[in-house]
């Protein structure tokens, strides 16, 4: 008798991200109202962003510059000719009942960015994620739900139009992501890039960077995609990862149970750690796109394109490769140092001033980072200049001061005191003829410890070294002190 065995189906997730990135312009995309965050409701508004009759939009040139620079940084092809379109939908937070966006002729297409992961052995893995398109558009306003209602949770809604007309770029990835971890890393790398460029602050908590996830699952080996589900309402990179991991399991369980996956938009519920249905997903036909009649098409000249390309900084991935291959740093150090452009620039200035790269990396990623985290500061707000850090590292390496002395004086150095003043009178004692009498004195003053040492308790060597350092206010050269103490104890 033969018993049938059930083969468990293996599934894979197909994931793409749509990321809305608010551009750091001072004024809105089609008008001169302020883009300042945190203003009183409905104070940063004007006839254009409110869609009042008889007004015409005018494109903010800085928006075009930032969009093109973002497209170049993402290795996109920049369109020589593009246009704006009207995207129709009817929400209380959209004053005109349409959004000005770009549909069939976006400003940038066919790009990619590289993400870095770590395998089970700790080795870095690099993966290229395709960028389908990047286009410009205006943001909508914000609904504030208030009051209480037994069924819906709110009895009325207020509308704040400050956000209406805020300039955005929407960046759509190819469906190249396969896990929540990959998606979170993609979103983090995207934020690093826009921050390096200076085109966006990327603050998720303020809504400057908002990611919507499109996800489906399919049996491994099948070419056709499964039914796509969109997830919204994720306000952190960890939430992106958790929402995707949950949704993968939900869809697999539904398929295994014989249920049908429907194309819908779901919300991530942070408290419950699950997704819930919001609405059936619209298709592009529902938006009834047509060319925006009040805005002229956009043409980017070769001269302008090359000018903006020349202004791009070295980007995070390039710096990581440079730090690892040319400076010999570990992938971890390279990643921490390139997380923020100001930290990378601080590090590079310290090296240019003569600092050993590994020593500079250690100081910045450990002691200085601890101070920044504790005081909630950025590296541009401390008094220790990168040139002075290089000076400190050189003093340690040439034996003028010890590492312990430098750490002891770090609070003074971070407040802006110069190394010359901080270490005045603290130069290490490196002359054996000066240290030897002090070692003799310490050994003579501790006969019991000396007897224990010579009876086999060799750990007491550290005690004698410590006494010498104490007696010299830590000015004794640690290496020389160890050598002299061991020589005297074993005499």
Cβ atoms of 312 and 75 within 8 Å: the answer is: no
Residue 245: what pLDDT? 96
Region 73-78: what's the mean pLDDT? 98
Residue 425: what pLDDT? 79
Report whether pLDDT(3) > 50: no
User: Per-residue confidence at 287, pLDDT binned at 50, 70, 90?
Assistant: confident
Of the listed ranges 55-69, 357-371, 438-452, the least confidently predicted one is 438-452
- 3-state SS, residue 389: helix
Nearest of 384, 324, 381 to residue 357 by alpha carbon: 324
Residue 215: what pLDDT? 97
> Domain boundaries in the chain?
11-219+281-303, 314-422, 432-489
- What would the DSSP string read from start to end of 47-65? TTTTT-TT------HHHHH
Q: How far is Cα 205 from Cα 56, in angstroms, rounded to an integer?
A: 32
Cα-based distances in Å from 286 to 128, 216, 281, 352, 383? 33, 22, 10, 57, 56
Q: Which helix (H) or strand (E) holds 66?
A: helix 61-73
Report whether pLDDT(295) > 90: yes
| Range list of H helices, 288-409 | 302-310, 316-325, 331-338, 341-352, 357-362, 369-375, 386-397, 403-408
For the domain spanning 432-489, the CATH number is 1.10.10.410
Conformational region of residue 238, where left means phi above 0, alpha means psi within -120 to 50, and beta covers everything else:
alpha
Q: How many CB atoms lie within 10 A of CB 308?
A: 19
The model's pLDDT over 219-253, given as tens digits with 9 standing for 90+, comes to 999 999 999 999 998 889 999 999 999 999 999 99
Q: Which helix (H) or strand (E) holds 414?
A: helix 410-414
Residue 154: what pLDDT? 77
Residue 5: what pLDDT? 46
Mean pLDDT of the chain: 92
- Most confident of the following: 72-81, 276-285, 481-490: 72-81
What are 308's two structure tokens? 């903006």
Nearest of 290, 250, 186, 311 to residue 13 by alpha carbon: 250
| Range list of H helices, 198-330 | 237-256, 284-287, 302-310, 316-325
Q: How far is Cα 43 from Cα 51, in angstroms, rounded to an integer?
A: 15
Report whether pLDDT(78) > 90: yes
User: Per-residue confidence at 8, pLDDT binned at 50, 70, 90?
Assistant: low
Residue 149: what pLDDT? 62
Cα-based distances in Å from 468 to 431, 442, 458, 463? 14, 7, 17, 9
Q: Percent of the chain, pLDDT > 70?
A: 96
Residue 328: what pLDDT? 95
Q: How far is Cα 244 from Cα 251, in angstroms, rounded to an integer?
A: 10
User: Per-residue confidence at 56, pLDDT binned at 50, 70, 90?
Assistant: very high
Residue 146: what pLDDT? 82
User: Per-residue confidence at 2, pLDDT binned at 50, 70, 90?
Assistant: very low
Q: Percent of the chain, pLDDT > 90?
A: 77
The model's pLDDT over 439-467, given as tens digits with 9 standing for 90+, comes to 999 999 998 998 898 888 989 999 999 99
For residue 386, give every residue at least 6 positions away whose Cβ sits within 8 Å of its Cβ, in sequence order, or none.
Answer: 346, 347, 349, 350, 353, 355
Point out which residues pair with 266 in neighbouring strands: 231, 277
The model's pLDDT over 153-179, given as tens digits with 9 standing for 90+, comes to 778 889 999 999 999 999 999 999 999
Q: How far is Cα 299 from Cα 315, in angstroms, rounded to an integer?
A: 26
Q: How far is Cα 352 from Cα 335, in angstroms, rounded to an integer?
A: 20
The model's pLDDT over 84-93, given as tens digits with 9 standing for 90+, comes to 999 998 888 9
């Amino acid at each position: 008798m033969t018993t049938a065995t059930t083969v468990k189906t293996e599934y894979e997730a197909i994931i793409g991200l749509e990321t809305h990135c608010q551009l750091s312009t001072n004024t809105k995309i089609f008008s001169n109202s302020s883009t300042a965050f945190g203003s009183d409701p409905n104070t940063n508004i004007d006839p254009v962003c409110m869609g009042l009759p008889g007004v015409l939009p005018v494109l903010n040139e800085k928006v075009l510059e930032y969009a093109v620079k973002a497209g170049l940084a993402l290795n996109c092809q920049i369109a020589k000719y593009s246009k704006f379109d009207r995207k129709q939908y009817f929400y209380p937070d959209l004053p005109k009942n349409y959004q000005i966006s770009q549909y069939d002729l976006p400003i940038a297409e066919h790009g990619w960015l590289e993400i870095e992961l770590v395998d089970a052995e700790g080795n870095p893995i690099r993966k290229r994620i395709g960028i389908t398109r990047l286009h410009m558009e205006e943001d909508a306003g914000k609904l504030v739900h208030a009051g209480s209602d037994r069924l819906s949770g709110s009895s009325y809604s207020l509308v704040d139009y400050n956000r209406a007309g805020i300039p955005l770029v929407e960046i759509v990835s190819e469906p190249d992501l396969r896990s929540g971890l990959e998606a979170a890393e993609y979103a983090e790398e995207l934020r690093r890039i826009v921050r390096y460029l200076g085109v966006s602050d990327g603050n998720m908590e303020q809504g400057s960077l908002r990611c919507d996830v499109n996800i489906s699952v399919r049996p491994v080996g099948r070419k056709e995609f499964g039914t796509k589900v969109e997830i919204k309402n994720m306000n952190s990179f960890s939430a992106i990862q958790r929402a995707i991991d949950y949704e993968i399991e939900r869809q697999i369980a539904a398929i295994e149970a014989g249920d049908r996956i429907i194309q819908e938009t779901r919300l991530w519920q942070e408290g419950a750690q699950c997704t819930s249905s919001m609405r059936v997903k619209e298709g592009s036909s529902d938006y009834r796109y047509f060319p925006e009649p009040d805005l002229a098409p956009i043409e980017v000249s070769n001269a302008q394109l090359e000018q903006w390309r020349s202004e791009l900084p070295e980007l995070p991935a390039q710096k990581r490769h440079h730090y690892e291959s040319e400076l010999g740093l570990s992938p971890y150090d390279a990643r921490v140092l390139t997380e923020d452009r100001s930290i990378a620039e601080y590090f590079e200035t310290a090296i240019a001033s003569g600092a050993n790269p590994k020593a500079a990396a250690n100081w910045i990623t450990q002691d200085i980072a601890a101070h920044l985290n504790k005081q909630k500061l950025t590296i541009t707000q401390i008094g220790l200049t990168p040139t002075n850090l290089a000076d400190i590292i050189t003093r340690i390496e040439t034996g003028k001061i010890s590492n312990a002395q430098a750490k002891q004086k770090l609070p003074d150095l971070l407040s802006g005191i110069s190394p010359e003043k901080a270490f005045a009178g603290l130069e290490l004692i490196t002359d054996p003829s000066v240290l030897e009498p002090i070692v003799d004195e310490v050994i003579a003053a501790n006969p019991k410890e000396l007897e224990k040492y010579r009876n086999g308790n060799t750990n007491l060597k550290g005690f004698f070294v410590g006494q010498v350092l104490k007696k010299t206010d830590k000015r004794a050269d640690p290496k020389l002190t160890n050598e002299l103490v061991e020589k005297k104890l074993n005499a």
